[in-house]
Amino acid sequence: MNIAATVRAQAQDLLHFIDAGPSPWHVVHECAERLAAAGFKRLDEGERWRLPPGSRCYLTRGGSLVAFITGGNADQGLTLIGAHTDSPGLRVKPRAADESGGLWRVGVEVYGSPILATFADRDLTLAGRVNVRSGQGFASHLVRFAQPLLRLPNLAIHMNREVNEVGLKFNRQSELPLLLGLADDGASGERRFRQLIAEQCGVAPEDLLTWDLAAADTQAGSFWGPNSEFIASSRLDNLASCHAALCALLAVSADAPARAALIALFDHEEVGSESAVGAGGSLAADVIARLAASAGQDAEDQRRRLARSFFISADMAHAWHPNFPAAYEPGHHVLVNGGPVIKSNANQRYSTTADSAARFMGFCAAASVPCQHYAHRADLGCGSTIGPLVAARLGVASVDVGSPLWAMHSIRESAGVLDHAAMIAALTAALRRASAAAM
Ligand code: CO
């Protein structure tokens, strides 16, 4: 297997991107930096927008971000690519620390559906945002500890004899607190913990107000396999799709496309998307309505535009794992490094239709990349993603796609180097060619 230098560089850049994004707020920050460096202008949702044709802008709402190029012709539809910035894992509680038998621990809540056992024995740290007192109000800091800070040690096999037969299970309340240190100086765990966070923000502990902190793995992503053709990392679901969407938008940003191109990267997908910033909320619709308003379009024009629009929901797909054949639909094995996957589900857990799948196949063909089809076993519950939600709220044609992934929701997932480049190429082709394709 010969991996082209450009393909390797895209995968390497993905590892940097994931490393820069240990929390949704870090992901948004990294995207904003890259967009600003490429000349995209930051918009404030609280200000009036003036967007001449060809404007390149982005905005953030919490852990979500939308970036767009307005396009030269407001009568054409929009092409929107969606992905999500959050990953399942452990989140620190508001009153986090306690002392137990001489050790202090950090209380966590399970966010979404991680494979909890994979969080044991990892070199974890904390990352997220912290609010500190500032004048009469507060200021928000992005915070990340570089060093391994806390840990969830396994119980020794001598005390958990059945672990290899029944699997590793944790009680979510009592067995997940993360060990942080020795409670050796008489100070309360809560005080010590607050001191730690305050120091990292460079403020006094009494000025520390609130936080959104996630446990994150400190191990950087890596390549594996005889030709380094595979990627292992935290958060490939779904930062690989965020990165691919961002690369695609940046790739077409110099084109001055006639048709508007948007990417929407949403927080809260892993917990159902129903929030002020999630895909189930108003964010995408709000931005599209404001694009219409700034182009002088009325409600009728906007409906016409949406009728010509297309949404690509990019999230990871379950790669074929030969050790567990019974988990898969026999006719729909998707291979790592076999190319982008179109995900279909008759019950609309995925938004794909025969038409939208055909359209995405056209984008893959235009990009000269292969394309695979996935369906979940009919006797297993199928996961869902942002595709059906956004499609329902906007009323636009929509397809669910993704790159093949092993161990979805493990703290260390695996994917393919070739697939990432292929997904970037397919999404770039989608932003370039959508206006030429028949609806
Ligand atoms: Co996902």
- Residue 350 alpha carbon to ligand 1 centre in Å: 12
- Residue 405 alpha carbon to ligand 1 centre in Å: 10
Output the CA torsion sign for 287, 129, 202, 219. Answer: negative
Structure tokens at 367: 């990009």
Give the CA distances from residue 142 to residues 21, 23, 231, in Å, rounded to whole numbers and listed in that order.
Answer: 11, 9, 27
Could you tell me the maximum CA-CA distance found in the chain, to the nearest angstrom?
A: 71
- Residue 277 alpha carbon to ligand 1 centre in Å: 16
- Residue 254 alpha carbon to ligand 1 centre in Å: 30
Write out pLDDT tens, residues 110-162. Answer: 999 999 999 999 999 999 999 999 999 999 999 999 999 999 999 999 999 99
CATH classification code of 89-217? 2.30.250.10
Write out pLDDT tens, residues 192-230. Answer: 899 999 999 999 999 999 999 999 999 999 999 999 999
Which 3 state secondary structure label does DSSP give 292? helix
Alpha-carbon torsion, ordered 409, 410, 412, 417, to 10 deg: -50
Is the link from the previous residue into 238 a cis peptide, with omega within 30 of 0? yes
- Residue 130 alpha carbon to ligand 1 centre in Å: 25
Output the CA torsion sign for 33, 39, 42, 43. Answer: negative
Q: What is the pTM of this model?
A: 0.97
- Residue 328 alpha carbon to ligand 1 centre in Å: 18
Q: What is the DSSP-derived secondary structure letter of residue 191?
A: H
Q: What CA–CA distance (Å, rounded) separates 415 from 229?
A: 9
- Residue 270 alpha carbon to ligand 1 centre in Å: 7
Q: What CA–CA distance (Å, rounded) separates 51 from 39?
A: 14
Q: State the average pLDDT for the chain.
A: 95
- Residue 186 alpha carbon to ligand 1 centre in Å: 43
- Residue 208 alpha carbon to ligand 1 centre in Å: 32
How is the chain split into domains, by residue range?
5-87+234-436, 89-217
- Residue 402 alpha carbon to ligand 1 centre in Å: 9
- Residue 318 alpha carbon to ligand 1 centre in Å: 11
CA-based nearest residue to 66, from 42, 48, 49, 86: 42
Neighbouring C-beta atoms of residue 68, cutoff 10 Å: 26
Residue range 61-72: mean pLDDT, rounded:
95
Q: What is the pLDDT of residue 426?
A: 98
Neighbouring C-beta atoms of residue 52, cutoff 10 Å: 8
Q: What CA–CA distance (Å, rounded) separates 292 from 298?
A: 7
- Residue 335 alpha carbon to ligand 1 centre in Å: 18
Of 80 and 182, the one with more pLDDT? 80
Q: What is the pLDDT of residue 437?
A: 46
- Residue 105 alpha carbon to ligand 1 centre in Å: 29
Residue range 234-258: mean pLDDT, rounded:
95
Indicate if the pLDDT at residue 70 is higher than 90.
yes
Task: Provide the pLDDT confidence category of residue 434 given band limits of 50, 70 and 90.
Answer: low
Q: What is the DSSP-derived secondary structure letter of residue 329?
A: -
- Residue 84 alpha carbon to ligand 1 centre in Å: 7
Write out pLDDT tens, residues 266-323. Answer: 999 999 999 999 999 999 999 999 999 999 999 999 999 999 999 999 999 999 999 9
- Residue 414 alpha carbon to ligand 1 centre in Å: 13
- Residue 206 alpha carbon to ligand 1 centre in Å: 38
- Residue 239 alpha carbon to ligand 1 centre in Å: 9
- Residue 138 alpha carbon to ligand 1 centre in Å: 32
Give the CA distances from residue 409 to residues 14, 210, 232, 252, 316, in Å, rounded to whole numbers and listed in that order.
Answer: 18, 27, 13, 31, 10
Residue range 385-404: mean pLDDT, rounded:
95
Q: How would you classify residue 141: left for phi > 0, otherwise alpha for psi between -120 and 50, otherwise beta?
A: beta
- Residue 384 alpha carbon to ligand 1 centre in Å: 8
Q: What is the pLDDT of residue 337?
A: 98
- Residue 383 alpha carbon to ligand 1 centre in Å: 9
Q: Identify the CATH assignment for 5-87+234-436 out of 3.30.70.860, 3.30.1360.30, 3.40.630.30, 3.40.630.10.
A: 3.40.630.10
Write out pLDDT tens, residues 344-388. Answer: 999 999 999 999 999 999 999 999 999 999 999 999 988 889 999
Q: What CA–CA distance (Å, rounded) separates 133 from 429?
A: 47
Give the CA distances from residue 145 to residues 148, 206, 280, 336, 407, in Å, rounded to whole numbers and listed in that order.
Answer: 8, 20, 32, 33, 26
Instruction: List the beta bridge partners of residue 208.
Output: 132
